[in-house]
């Protein structure tokens, strides 16, 4: 399973690098999205893939999954989600500045 994940991570990094080297800003944003997904999968794979183990619920468990990589991935997902929205706002923002939005009273 780790070999399959390593191949998928390599393909994601390869596609992200190709997209980020282009001149189109939209391709660069999509490339950073793919790069962040590849990093999330890398952190998850380095934490260990144990399909039959459960998260740490009590001290009596024989084997358990380390919750730290999962917490790091959740934090990284929130940060990448915010940064992608900021990049998309920078992409769309100049077109919205030409139209003034006013509140109706």
Q: Residue 13's pLDDT is what?
A: 96
Q: Residue 88's pLDDT is what?
A: 82
43 Cβ contact partners less than 8 Å away, ≥ 6 residues apart: 69, 72, 73, 76
Instruction: Sketch out the chain's domains with CATH numbers.
Output: 2-50+65-96 (1.10.287)
Q: Residue 66's pLDDT is what?
A: 74
31 Cβ contact partners less than 8 Å away, ≥ 6 residues apart: 15, 16, 17, 18, 19, 20, 22
pLDDT in tens, 30-81: 999 999 999 988 988 887 766 666 666 667 766 667 778 888 888 988 998 8
Q: How confident is the model at residue 84 (pLDDT cuts 50, 70, 90)?
A: confident
Q: Where are the beta strands (DSSP E) in the chain?
A: 54-55, 64-65
pLDDT in tens, 4-16: 989 999 999 999 9
Q: Residue 72's pLDDT is what?
A: 86
């Amino acid at each position: 399973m780790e070999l399959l994940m390593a191949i998928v991570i390599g393909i994601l990094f390869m596609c992200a690098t190709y997209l980020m080297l282009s001149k189109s800003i939209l391709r660069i944003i999509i490339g950073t999205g793919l790069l962040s997904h590849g990093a999330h999968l890398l952190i998850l794979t380095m934490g260990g893939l144990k399909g039959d183990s459960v998260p740490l619920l009590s001290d009596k468990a024989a084997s358990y999954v380390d919750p730290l990589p999962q917490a790091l991935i959740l934090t990284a997902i929130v940060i990448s989600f915010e940064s992608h929205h900021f990049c998309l706002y920078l992409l769309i923002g100049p077109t919205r500045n030409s139209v003034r939005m006013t509140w109706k009273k």
